[in-house]
Amino acid sequence: MQNGYQNGKHKKVRVWCDGCYDMVHFGHANSLRQAKALGDHLIVGVHTDEEIRKHKGPPVFTEEERLKMVKGIKWVDEVVEGAPYVTTLETLDKYNCDFCVHGDDITVTADGQDTYQLVKDAKRYKEVQRTAGVSTTDLVGRMLLLTRNHFRQGQYEYSVAKEHSTTMGQDSSARSPWTGCCQFLPTTQKIIQFSDGIPPKEGDKIIYVAGAYDLFHVGHLDFLQKAREQGDYVIVGLHTDPVVNRYKGSNYPIMNLHERVLSVLACKYVSEVVIGAPYKVTLDLMNHFKVDLVIHGQTPVMNDEDGTDPYEVPKALGKFINIDSGNDMTTDKIVDRIIRNRQEFQERNQKKEKKELELLNGTVKPN
């Protein structure tokens, strides 16, 4: 914690971060986690839809949705709407921030200006390590692959994806057999960093929810907030990739199990995660975690492989309820947004990838 003293008293260090925060994922959360560790109070500025479209391309989520997602990240203390795309000293001073924090990737405006040059020149800029293996551009690319027939699930398709990964010189174990996309490789250290590691207290009412939580979004966030209102300690059971694929089909899940674990752990309403939870909520599971109430939302529930209701045990015990979060967003609807505007998002990705490649090769440098 980098703090100091002013007039003999502890001075709280206020940290500024800003960005698009479109399709908030664990990479964003990890950056904010690192930023919060550099101070006491983390303020996050979120750009408008208009600014993003001007400098980067069309956002997937609306400003309202992006604001809600950032507010749901457990390391964020305060959120500012309509933050300017270029970070200025005036912005830092307005919110009484000591410095700005950003990842070690380069962000430029439409005309090639480094968006952090002003605060860099004033020595009020700190860098944190960018999370390799995930980005909004990457996730959009994964969703665009959903419509390609040769990426549909099947032994032949899996072989094609695996062969492609080998050709590209990448570890095929890091790629989804359903999308063929290069994905994040987790470590136990990263999971520990995201986890609070706090067990339930004596007398806590323990809530259990389960699902895919693929492309963690505002629908998930609102549901988990409602679930948390029903108790004190929320445990999220995350299904494995093959189980999700069984009940979702196509190329789902878009994010692998470990990516989904980190995305859910970053949510401030979540206390603990069961990695690879069984599809059926069993008596053993409920007893092991001392579950008081099992909750499901409004999404349809497919029967287990043996044809039984996966929630039959908590229902029989009188420990099951359905709740309505009031938000009908689903992962399918996000994919639909991408597919409906396929060409626009393809052009966005191609433009961004070209710019990143040029910067990486040193052929183009920001002003």
> What pLDDT sits at residue 310?
98
Beta bridge partners of 238: 211, 275
230 and 145 within one domain: no
> What pLDDT sits at residue 168?
27
> What pLDDT sits at residue 339?
78
> What pLDDT sits at residue 174?
39
203 and 114 within one domain: no
Nearest-angstrom CA–CA distance, 64 and 62: 5
**Is residue 203 one of the residues assigned to a domain?**
yes
Rounded average pLDDT over 344-356:
65
156 and 267 within one domain: no
> What pLDDT sits at residue 356?
55
For residues 134 and 25, the answer to whether their CB atoms sit within 8 Å is: yes
- Higher per-residue confidence, 90 vs 251: 90
**Is residue 105 one of the residues assigned to a domain?**
yes
Rounded average pLDDT over 9-22:
90
For the stretch 254-311, pLDDT in tens is 888 989 999 999 999 999 999 999 999 999 999 999 999 999 999 999 999 999 999 9
How many structural domains is the chain composed of? 3
- pLDDT-derived band of residue 189, with 50, 70 and 90 as boundaries? confident
Rounded average pLDDT over 107-133:
87
158 and 220 within one domain: no
Residue with tokens 């998930």, as numbered in its chain: 220
Domain CATH number, residue 214: 3.40.50.620
End-of-domain residue from the set 86, 104, 128: 128
Element (H, E) at 293: strand 293-296
252 and 205 within one domain: yes
Nearest-angstrom CA–CA distance, 120 and 167: 40
Residue with tokens 């250290």, as numbered in its chain: 189
Rounded average pLDDT over 88-106:
94
- pLDDT-derived band of residue 344, with 50, 70 and 90 as boundaries? confident
What residue type is assigned to position 80 of the chain? V
Query: What average pLDDT does the chain have?
Result: 84
140 and 11 within one domain: no
What residue type is assigned to position 338 of the chain? I
Nearest-angstrom CA–CA distance, 127 and 70: 20
180 and 196 within one domain: no
Residue 161 has pLDDT above 90, yes or no: no
End-of-domain residue from the set 108, 128, 148: 128
Q: Token digits for 58?
A: 């069309």
The lowest-confidence range among 132-146, 237-251, 349-363 is 349-363
199 and 319 within one domain: yes
Residue 55 has pLDDT above 90, yes or no: no
> What pLDDT sits at residue 175?
42
317 and 198 within one domain: yes
123 and 102 within one domain: yes
* Residue 179 domain boundaries: 134-185
Q: Which of 27-36, 166-175, 355-364 has the highest mean pLDDT?
A: 27-36
Q: Which of 30-34, 127-131, 135-139 has the highest mean pLDDT?
A: 30-34
166 and 81 within one domain: no
> What pLDDT sits at residue 320?
98
pTM of the model: 0.82
**Is residue 24 one of the residues assigned to a domain?**
yes
Rounded average pLDDT over 195-216:
96
**Is residue 355 one of the residues assigned to a domain?**
no
**Is residue 340 one of the residues assigned to a domain?**
no
Pair type for strands 206-211 and 233-238: parallel
> What pLDDT sits at residue 155?
32
**Is residue 365 one of the residues assigned to a domain?**
no
**Is residue 197 one of the residues assigned to a domain?**
yes
121 and 23 within one domain: yes
> What pLDDT sits at residue 358?
62
- Higher per-residue confidence, 148 vs 202: 202
DSSP assignments along 204-236, one per residue: PPEEEEEE--TT--HHHHHHHHHHHTT-SEEEE
**Is residue 351 one of the residues assigned to a domain?**
no
End-of-domain residue from the set 185, 200, 223: 185
Burial of residue 7, with CB atoms counted within 10 A of its CB: 0-12 exposed, 13-18 middle, 19 or more buried:
exposed
